[in-house]
Structure 1
Amino acid sequence: MKHLSILLSLLLGYTTNIYAQSPEMDDALRSSGKIYVVVVVIAIIFIGLAFYLFSIDRRLKKIEKEK
């Protein structure tokens, strides 16, 4: 649970403005609705990585208890 709170605080508290693309590209993605697809794909990737890391952590704890 401690790891989850740290992960959430990092994801939610780490807001910086990074301008990797031009504002015209941002406006085009917003106007066509594709920005939501990008956000959903990024969210799925982060959720998948978090799930994978927590499952590895659980397996390692189980292995450490056996020794």
Structure 2
Amino acid sequence: MHKYLILILLILSSLVTSAQQEVEMADTMRSEGKIYVVVAILLLILIGLVGYLVQLDRKVSKLEKRLSEKK
């Protein structure tokens, strides 16, 4: 029990120290305006994935409907 308490305290202390560090890359990208490009690309990828999943769901639904009609 004592070991687990020490482990939890060490993990919490490392989280506190890492939370106080600044992320230089994000600040640099934000100051240069490049962060918006990154966000736009991520949104484009997510929209593409959602569109693909919707299309795939429609195809699977059609196949399930055909399969149920044959039985």
Q: What is the percent sequence identity of the aligned residues?
A: 49
**Aligned residue identity for 2:53:** L
Query: TM-score, normalised on structure 1?
Result: 0.66
Which consecutive unaligned segments of at least 5 residues does structure 2 have?
1-18
**Aligned residue identity for 1:43:** L
Aligned partner of 1:27 in structure 2 is 27
Say how many residue pairs are matched. Answer: 47
Aligned partner of 1:42 in structure 2 is 42
Rounded to whole Å, the distance in 1 between the matches of 2:26 and 2:38 is: 11
Q: Which has the higher helix share?
A: 2
CA RMSD of the aligned region, Å? 1.4
Larger radius of gyration: 2
**Aligned residue identity for 1:37:** V
